[in-house]
Chain A
Amino acid sequence: MNSAPWIILFSPLVAAALIAVATQPFKKLSSYLSVAAVAISFLFSLTLFGGPDQDGSFNWIDLGVFQVRLGYLIDGFSKMMLLVVTGVGFLIHVYSIGYMHDDRGRSRYFAGLSLFMFSMLGIVLANNFIMMFIFWELVGVSSYILIGHWFDRPSAADAANKALIVNRIGDFGFMLGILMVWSASGTVMFGELSSKWSTLGLGATYATIAALMIFCGAVGKSAQFPLHVWLPDAMEGPTPVSALIHAATMVAAGVYMLARVYFLFAGSAAALTVVLWIGLITSLLAALMATQQSDIKRVLAYSTLSQLGLMVSAIGLGVPVSALFHLFTHAFFKALLFLGAGSVIHSLHNEQNMWQMGGLRRKMPLTFWTFLIGTLALSGCPPLAGFWSKDGIVAAAFAHNGFAGLVISVINFFTAFYMMRLFVVSFLGTARSEAADHAHESPPVMTVPLVLLAIPSLIAGFPPIEHIFFPNAGAEEPSIGAIAVSLAVFIGGIAAGFVLYRGKTSDPVSVPLFANRFYIDQFYSVLVKWTQDALARVAAFIDRWVIDGGIVRGLGGTTWGFGFALRFLQIGNLQAYAFLFGFGVVLLLYLILFAT
């Protein structure tokens, strides 16, 4: 067994433990420890990337029929993910040193980041469902800690709760799915399952339900409709957290898991169709919502939702490699965009409303240019990263399902539109507030990561680079038609956003439906309230009439009644007792001797 994967996995955990136990009061040391841990993980990931595929594990729990193994599976997917998670993670850790410089809870923050890295790397390395599920839950916990970092703000505490609870719903389905897979095949190891699953001869219904249950986990973690509501609220966390967890890594875990266990879906057309449409619905709704948000981080949050929807729909189209390719490029430019937004927010003293910004081009040149690269990459501008990865999905969509291709094109149009809107409103024009007027460029510890992220955002999509990370890619030949549509959509979206928002001081378009996120949150709170009231009423009825009335009062009342009746026999006359006793004996004798 190779030790490199274990070093990658455990070095952040060691850092988190050290910070929690020893270096809590020394904030600087804590942050360096955390950064060093992720740097070690990154270096070992690099060595693994050059090495061969491998699979190693040891027995953790052995109950005869049921074995839980802990192990790692190093293949193309996990090599790529390891580099993305540790690489982007490293830059975000460095950036955090600058961004969280004045925060009192810095040690706690870095311990949380390290714990998160440990959990995320566990998901990436896992070679079986049980281990993946354990780290899956750990990711949920650490994201709870990080979203609620500023727990003295009620909105942050609520957002952390919401993220955890909504994720639990998906995770419950995930667990049922794992149980279904295990009871059908008797194993949870990915390697064994992938060769065994299609030969089990399962009923189509069972296979579909098992696959969809597994998909539930991804719906929760990757924030797909209808469990997408937690992700925008999770923006209450510090901005680097949003970049790390809610853009580049954690939400990508769902897509990664789907690609990992794609063999479960491959045999079931129904499951794939559901996955496709859940992805498309999420993507379209989120893109529409993003067009009407005024909080810079929320626009990016909805854009993340939308891109995750695209990745999920790529899984549904049967091209998991394209999904992972988009995940790969998206991790870079979305982390870049979030960190850029963080840089703006930091220098504007926590101003997040983009209508209070403007005129930042000269004041924050590095942030401006890197943000522009991120915007263009996300919008699908050739030849930046997003163009190539989106193109794979668009081409697959047009090849398999023309209508899906149409929907994806609409989504891409809106993506370009809202990103241009965000860019024009935040950075161009004139300063629209005092804070924006006095903005200044962020320190190098924050801008260097931006530059380093801008490089892969520019070049990560080129086919030669794609082939380094995805040696088996290229199943879909890029079609001229798909590229033409993508280009037209990109230019249309950019132009519409630019023309509509250039020089405006307030939003010229108002669509309350989009601004209010299709009233899904309101609908959920009504639904939750209604269900809870109904359940509470039933529970109150049972408590009052069955438990209190029937069991407690019933038992007491019966005992009391018997006692009340029997005490009339206690007359205090000894001879009456003797007579009754004698009478009883005679009666018994009569019954025994003569009554048979």
Chain B
Amino acid sequence: MATLNDYLLASGLLFTVGFAGVLLRRNLIVIFMALELMLNAANLSLVGFSRFHTQAGLPDYNAQVLVFFIITVAAAEVAVGLAVIVALYRAKQTTHIEDLNSLKF
């Protein structure tokens, strides 16, 4: 039987992988995917808490509702983010992060 700590560990690992991807990868699309990974890591921990924080024998559904919200927002964010990336590609013919550094002193 998996415990809450197992869920949290898995969630933390996922989050770390996502954050490492954001920091280290050079392609915008991949960084974007890594961001989604971080969001889902957060979802996983919420679901874990929901499962183990029972009230009158039932899981705490508040957390699960929150997860659905996050999924919805993430979908919208992906739509906007991908559109931005497409627009950026059209303008610069690249999605490589090291070429996108014109906003600096």
A residues near B, CB below 8 A? 567-568, 570-575, 578-579, 582
Contacts and interface: CB of A to CB of B under 8 A. Distances in A.
A573 B105 contact: no
Given A571-B104, A573-B101, A575-B24, 17 more contacts: A567-B105, A568-B105, A570-B103, A570-B104, A571-B101, A572-B101, A572-B102, A572-B103, A572-B105, A573-B98, A574-B97, A574-B100, A574-B101, A575-B22, A575-B23, A578-B23, A582-B19
B26 to A, nearest CB: 9
B34 to A, nearest CB: 10
A424 to B, nearest CB: 95
A578 B23 CA distance: 7
Nearest to B102: A572
Contact of A578 (B22, B98, B105): B22
Contacts of B24: 575
Interface in B6-33: 19, 22-24
A575 B97 contact: yes
A582 B16 CA distance: 11
Contacts of A567: 105
Contacts of A574: 97, 100-101
Contacts of B97: 574-575
Nearest to B19: A582
Contacts of A578: 22-23
A331 B98 CA distance: 101
Nearest to B98: A573
A559 to B, nearest CB: 17
Nearest to A572: B104
Contacts of A575: 22-24, 97
A415 B63 CA distance: 108
A562 to B, nearest CB: 14
Contacts of B104: 570-573
B10 to A, nearest CB: 19
A582 B101 contact: no
A344 to B, nearest CB: 88
9 contacts: A568-B105, A570-B105, A572-B101, A572-B102, A573-B98, A573-B101, A574-B100, A575-B22, A578-B22
Contacts of B100: 574
A371 to B, nearest CB: 92
A507 B30 CA distance: 113
A574 to B, nearest CB: 6
Contacts of A570: 103-105
B58 to A, nearest CB: 30
Nearest to B35: A578
Contacts of B19: 582
B15 to A, nearest CB: 10
A579 B23 contact: yes
Contacts of B103: 570, 572
Contacts of B23: 575, 578-579, 582
Contacts of A573: 98, 101, 104
Contacts of B105: 567-568, 570-572
A432 B52 CA distance: 126
Nearest to B104: A572
A571 B103 CA distance: 8
Nearest to A575: B23
Interface string B30-45: 0000000000000000
A571 B102 CA distance: 9
B30 to A, nearest CB: 12
A572 B24 CA distance: 16
Contacts of B102: 572
A60 to B, nearest CB: 68
A568 B105 CA distance: 7
Nearest to A578: B22
A567 B103 CA distance: 11
A108 to B, nearest CB: 71
- List the 4 closest A-B pairs by CB distance, nearest first: A572-B104, A572-B101, A567-B105, A570-B105
Interface string B72-105: 0000000000000000000000000110111111
Contacts of B101: 571-574
Nearest to B97: A574
